Structure 1
């Protein structure tokens, strides 16, 4: 089934400099949806039963296979790169990085090369005056539990142009037709350690007419999605990154706490931080200068290598793996999925060797919550660095060497200091069982306000403004930004 988009008038884009510091009609509408914890359109109890049934249906099968059993994929003779016969989708190539930033200084690795911009789109519509999002129960081959809650449309260019030869992506026309009513539109990076210069268009489009029903889709408020974000591996990465690009106002003082037991002081500081009305440790101009300086201060060079020439990695019949068992492996999978545009296919997947830790440290500074962001270098980013969470790592990678800064603070945090703690998966279309423990940990004076030029304290409002632009905030930080709004 394919929906057809009517010619809606365009709405003005957000200001080029980001969101205004005070309330806006658009932010107020999204905030009202975020405060709606249930809905008569799809009540929580009905959603839970529907989603559980999709997970029980057992219409999906993902099996690891030898590389030799891949159909349409091959190791290219001249360089050993793993490529698709069509020249589309993605390839696995080698990459060499040289930098003088703190850490290893330089390294080589396999990386996924997918030089196309995909669409991550959420369709929204008002019901009883409240915006609802059309969300999909979507199977991806690498997902833990197979089915997760996805945006209305989640498609690479290869997929939505029909390179796979399957049926057209449902509801795609709403996001591509001219004259659509666009509320949010932002070009953002994906996992810089695993993708080479990969970006997706994060977009929210509003409709007012009737939208065709589909058994795999349900209308939910943002508040209902926030409820699900507190559950392990339910809301997928693509939903989280789109929601991170949505502008919000601070909830009013009478708004109920999302999580029982959250301290009033934390919630008050968070509201001031979201509103932009409190005093930030750095002004926006200062902050932009610090970020620019962090990008320019160090050297960062990279070049692609033949996959067969990447040192420290070995290839067998079933995997490409690091010789010390660190980082990730590349595997092959046979996939069967009745609900996808193509019901059976084979493909490579990147599989991290363990669950990661991703965390923001948060601190109340003069009554305003600040987050500690790390200007982090990743091999595949277009810039030398983007703002990452305070901690973002696979601990096994640091075996035998100095651990990432603040990892000990995060792992030793007492329960009463943890504001968010959920296991969330990364993109299941390319990564196999790649999940991270996402955390927000409140700290005090034990974490200094200024002692490292690669770490930057900023308000939530400042982070929300930066995410309106490309190449500032990485995908893990966007996932935590979306999660932070569940702690109002």
Structure 2
């Protein structure tokens, strides 16, 4: 899959003393004590986004470091029958699949009723239930006047390519509490009741609404004194500019990392853009830029859709889920292969908090597509978002990408019932495709959940869009993210990906 164009590796080199190691350099300036004022934060983030390389972890050294993480032995995943998973059981009264400890997550049944009364207005499905709030968090520290983010080379059993670049901390509450009886996640102490003066981002955001039931994660970015951050071979400091470059590569930056990065607000002068499209994108980051709709009007429109959308979520025993779902041959799935299945996995991982465990993994139907149509209005780039419901969302409706589907799940439907704008996205000429990257979703719960993420310039003859679609500037999207439960996981991933194309 062709990746987006990237900035030259030499752009914005950040000097630090040559005697320091590449993964954990000492700060060349005084450590950060408190978070700067909002304007200074935006300036610091912009400076970091323009730094395409860094002597703290030079790009060439990063490539070797990451290749070593990928080549490292000691991580093995073997599919096993659900009934053979040590530490898990099917509850005798409901058939729900649960961990013996009562913690972590469970696979339950869900009945969904929607108010439109049309085809598919009521259905049943398995769903992952995890009634706790996890933490997705980045530490940020200053090296020679430039902010760097502490990223983790994280292995997960369902990851495509095994290792992804993840946030500093990516942990459930059960992990933070040590329910697995292993060592705690590295650097978790920085995210437990951090000093208010050091928090840049702290918001609750939804998880994958089709597969999780009301799941939320706490998205955090916390300023740290680098001298208080213990070194570890699986962590390194990168500028936002370096991370931007990596967002243009298949299956490298995790969705969790992208989701947190999307919550950062900053502006970059349009002079930094490589072309007119990039200039329109950078103008879109400015809160004062002209927009198709005012932000209050956007909020009101989405809230109106939430208010009038009827979605009933009823938990039911997993054993009672109908509609083609069945348990057979050690797995749970459908005979037609649509949507997803649940399988068992046994994992050996020398680099993780626990070295050996078993767990269920959700295996989606392949070929998912998540795409944004974009258009410049008065020289300001806007993205087309779709206000839609998903089975497990906490707040009924969120703004999703223009297209979010697995086409094979809709082939049995007549053309008029298939996802809107799918033809415009997949049939776009190459010159209009600004981003085309394969991204795999959370490997801790999903097995090879790989989707094609695209950013596409809308055709000139697109015309008016339906009422449940809205044109939004990037600054407006950032403001909506600050409210929580307005943009879903896939939309946040694409908003972060847009920074790879300016």
Q: How would you bin the TM-score normalised by the shorter chain?
A: over 0.9
Counterpart check, 1:295 vs 2:306:
yes
Counterpart check, 1:143 vs 2:128:
no
Q: TM-score, normalised on structure 2? A: 0.90
Compute the displacement of 1:265 (Å): 2.5
Q: Deviation per CA, 1:389-420, whole angstroms, max 9, x where unpaired?
A: 00001111102113200001100011100111
Give the structure 2 partner of residue 468 of structure 1.
482
Compute the displacement of 1:178 (Å): 4.3
SS of residue matched to 1:137: strand
Compute the displacement of 1:213 (Å): 1.2
Q: Are the equivalent residues in 2 in contact too, given 1:63–1:333 (CA < 8 A)?
A: yes
Give the structure 2 partner of residue 272 of structure 1.
283
Q: Please, which runs of 5 or more residues in structure 2 have no aligned partner?
A: 1-30
Q: Deviation per CA, 1:61-92, whole angstroms, max 9, x where unpaired?
A: 01100112101100101010000111100000
SS of residue matched to 1:254: helix
CA distance in 2, matches of 1:486, 1:8: 28
Q: Deviation per CA, 1:24-64, whole angstroms, max 9, x where unpaired?
A: 21111111111111000000000000100110112210110
Residues 251-400 of structure 1 correspond to what in structure 2 (within 5 A)? 251-257=268-274, 264-311=275-322, 312-400=324-412
Counterpart check, 1:452 vs 2:466:
yes
Give the structure 2 partner of residue 241 of structure 1.
259
Compute the displacement of 1:369 (Å): 1.0
SS of residue matched to 1:173: helix
SS of residue matched to 2:148: strand
Residues 182-201 of structure 1 correspond to what in structure 2 (within 5 A)? 182-201=199-218
Q: Are the equivalent residues in 2 in contact too, given 1:8–1:179 (CA < 8 A)?
A: no
Compute the displacement of 1:168 (Å): 1.3
Q: Deviation per CA, 1:422-445, whole angstroms, max 9, x where unpaired?
A: 001111100000011000001143
Compute the displacement of 1:9 (Å): 6.5
Give the structure 2 partner of residue 207 of structure 1.
224
Compute the displacement of 1:298 (Å): 2.4
Give the structure 2 partner of residue 4 of structure 1.
none
Compute the displacement of 1:367 (Å): 1.4
Q: Structure 1 stretches (4+) deviating beyond 3 angstroms?
A: 7-14
Give the structure 2 partner of residue 411 of structure 1.
426
Q: Which moved more, 1:50-59 or 1:271-280?
A: 271-280
Relative to structure 1, the CA distance from residue 135 to residue 209 in structure 2 (aligned partners, 3 Å threshold; closer, same or farther) is closer
CA distance in 2, matches of 1:60, 1:182: 34
Give the structure 2 partner of residue 3 of structure 1.
none
Q: Are the equivalent residues in 2 in contact too, given 1:294–1:453 (CA < 8 A)?
A: no
Q: Are the equivalent residues in 2 in contact too, given 1:362–1:370 (CA < 8 A)?
A: yes
Size of the aligned set, in residue pairs, is 465
Q: Deviation per CA, 1:300-328, whole angstroms, max 9, x where unpaired?
A: 11101110111120101321112321000
Q: TM-score, normalised on structure 1? A: 0.93
Give the structure 1 partner of residue 181 of structure 2.
165
